[in-house]
Structure 1
């Protein structure tokens, strides 16, 4: 017997509500399950993305360096305050004779101080901080533990290699000093932008003692003395190291050399090629960049007097009239460094072609283990050579200097190398004009003409429109 219709209707509605409730419960359970799975997946992905090792690698990557060679007016006529370049009685035949007491050959070398060569660290902002001697037992590795150490190197850093900028002769004396007293000691570097701050290493040839004291060297046509303000400005501009052994570093005697070494240390600029004894003069400065240990050495084949040579316990410069000491120093550095750089002071003033002694010494240096050889002293640009897979730049010309009436001395360049840890380097030339006390970028047609001139000066080498050198 069936229940009345009204009762069946109520019962069906009740069963329908129960089914709906069950469906809602099932749906809620499914939604909750899906939500839990989604949350679990999201948390897992977040943990994976924030893995400390991966995050550290990403944060360690530095922007690729770009050349800042824009802006600035070019100088097209001699400055009314110009003065001739300092001259020398250098043996233009390039003979191997030792300098006599009357010779006034030119030389340029970088020196470690009495406590040993120092490294300097270039921070993200480009400001230098003195860091621990790279030759010590606590040489920086990639842990960045030492105060002032460079940023820890990661695989991506090493893959990019180190970018090194080289410039020519620098002095802040005479007409240059008069100009800088009016315009400030930052004036020489105002047209450079951040070029030397964005690179890994900037190296120049400091062709002057930096001192308030000393005694002028006798029997020299030009005797230089520069203010310590110049080194503060160089450090701020991005310079990391200088080459000291030249015919001017002892213009104020040993007292001037001692002061120069002290001021370089104070401003965190490494140095090589001159010192308080023979061992210091020939010792390299070791610098650490992106996990690469770099040895910088300086030698000169232009020394005004025999007494200027570092010998035994006598202060002076590392000379290369006899290349034995230089070759041994390079060979020793080769055993300790990933990259070996030699800065040489040699050649004949205002001559655009390297002489036989320059070529011979350059090849000897490479054969001994040098990966880059960069020269100066002629006050004009000379060409480059690609010898046994290594680049040789024979003369970088003037950079911050007085301005002579010889137009070729107005042309200069930043020589830029990028080197991998296996010591393979590229070479690039960035044209500049050496104005009175200031380096000014060459633009447009002047830039093009200088690169064409560099191709003509470099047999077997061509420079493209960006200044990149390659064997032709």
Structure 2
């Protein structure tokens, strides 16, 4: 069939037009599909996160802060708990020196070690007054404030010396209430994270009094709730009065302390229990307390494998072993030790030898008691030794220096760096009273004069001499 050229041209034109329409439709369809994919992709990748290229050009997801916590949120922000863990440092294990590791002869007691308090005239010259503050130069020194160690998580550990809850103190508590001894010092006792003392009294309603002793004590279980409420968290039982009422009295003491949830160290059913540390935690820092005594009236008071008693340190072997093991279990190791010569201003050679050996074994702080008077401080290999905090709550005696007392604050990091401050007090009628002004300055100067290469400033901060 013949088709004219004109018809052929029209036919080709219509065919091209249909082809163009199809191409347009296809292209439009593809654009729609591509647009849909772009929209889907956009919504899938804008759910609260941004993508940023790293230095190599690789795209990494960066949190914008809206993701839920605990699921990788805020990776660029420092997490407080992680920082706290990081501050704990190494485990602190060390190779102790042999100094002090030799057997120390068991002579029963140091000279004058169990003469007991001199029950001379009671000081009845009033209860004293104190405003509790000293704002000179902007320093609030006697309001229970604590020294600080900058930059790291820290815990405030505080200590007092001997606490007696028997004899004339018991009479005062029965008359004025069991909270009476702590009333004036209470702000300093309740503020710290952990508060510790040496309990110089068996707590029992039975027992057989020890013989051949000048002073034998016996405290009432009724006194313990007030001790707890005053802020004390742990007590040391390793001393020369814990068995004044025999093993029965010792075990009763532990039971009564357990009833008021008061951890105790330094004594027990056997030597394993007596030397075992108590580990407490505050501010995320674990603190191991160990109680020891080098004042034991008779050998049978010493805890052994098959005998209840106290943790002795005449032979330092078990004490050093306990310290090394505690250092593997806790950030800080605190040794509370009963030692020295009564009413002596200065530590004797054995106290110094043992203190250095304890630190060589891993102890971070040594706090002593027994002399009934304040002794000085020493810094050894970056660690502090308080040789004696004297009496805190005790019978009043004719020896004036036995009335000088106070609260020691140690602000410590998990690495064992401690900053110390002593808050001076004076006991009146067995009740510690914070002192200030010239009284405080004079007492702090006296402690400085008997410290070893250490000084106390007018605010009670303790520093090593340059």
Give your verdict on TM over 0.5: yes
Deviation track 1:318-337 (CA, whole Å, cap 9, x = no partner) reads 10110001001001111111
Deviation track 1:411-451 (CA, whole Å, cap 9, x = no partner) reads 01211100001111111111011233211111211111111
Between the aligned partners of 2:414 and 2:110, the Cα distance in structure 1 is 45
Between the aligned partners of 2:160 and 2:109, the Cα distance in structure 1 is 30
Deviation track 1:111-145 (CA, whole Å, cap 9, x = no partner) reads xxxxxxxxxxxxxxxxxxxxxxxxxxxxxxxxxxx
Per the alignment, residue 293 of structure 1 pairs with 286
Match of 1:328 among 318, 321, 334: 321
Unaligned runs of 5+ in 2: 1-63, 81-102, 116-148
Structure 2 CA distance for partners of 1:230 and 1:99, relative to 1, 3 Å: farther
Deviation track 1:350-373 (CA, whole Å, cap 9, x = no partner) reads 000000000000000000000000
Deviation track 1:283-328 (CA, whole Å, cap 9, x = no partner) reads 0011111111111001111000000000112000010110001001
Structure 2 CA distance for partners of 1:219 and 1:158, relative to 1, 3 Å: farther
1:450 aligns with 2:443: yes
Kindly report which structure 2 residues correspond to 1:275-286, keeping only aligned pairs within 5 A, or say none.
275-286=268-279
CA contact (8 A) 2:153 2:414 kept: no
CA contact (8 A) 1:272 1:282 kept: yes
Between the aligned partners of 1:216 and 1:252, the Cα distance in structure 2 is 4
Per the alignment, residue 105 of structure 2 pairs with 97
Residue 106 of structure 1 and its aligned partner are, at CA, apart by 4.8
Match of 1:182 among 166, 175, 189: 175
Report the number of matched residues: 341
Unaligned runs of 5+ in 1: 1-46, 59-94, 108-155
Between the aligned partners of 2:306 and 2:453, the Cα distance in structure 1 is 44
Match of 1:197 among 190, 194, 198: 190
Deviation track 1:258-282 (CA, whole Å, cap 9, x = no partner) reads 1110111111111111100010011
SS in 1 for 2:343: coil
1:347 aligns with 2:340: yes
Per the alignment, residue 99 of structure 2 pairs with none
Deviation track 1:76-104 (CA, whole Å, cap 9, x = no partner) reads xxxxxxxxxxxxxxxxxxx9432459998
- The CA RMSD over aligned residues, in Å, is 2.7
Between the aligned partners of 2:202 and 2:252, the Cα distance in structure 1 is 8
Match of 1:393 among 375, 386, 400: 386
Between the aligned partners of 1:245 and 1:267, the Cα distance in structure 2 is 19
Structure 2 CA distance for partners of 1:311 and 1:457, relative to 1, 3 Å: same
SS in 1 for 2:459: coil
Between the aligned partners of 1:160 and 1:185, the Cα distance in structure 2 is 36
CA contact (8 A) 1:427 1:468 kept: yes
Per the alignment, residue 319 of structure 1 pairs with 312
SS in 2 for 1:194: helix
Residue 383 of structure 1 and its aligned partner are, at CA, apart by 0.3
Per the alignment, residue 171 of structure 1 pairs with 164
Between the aligned partners of 1:271 and 1:405, the Cα distance in structure 2 is 31
Between the aligned partners of 1:441 and 1:296, the Cα distance in structure 2 is 27
Between the aligned partners of 1:170 and 1:324, the Cα distance in structure 2 is 28
Higher Cα radius of gyration: 2
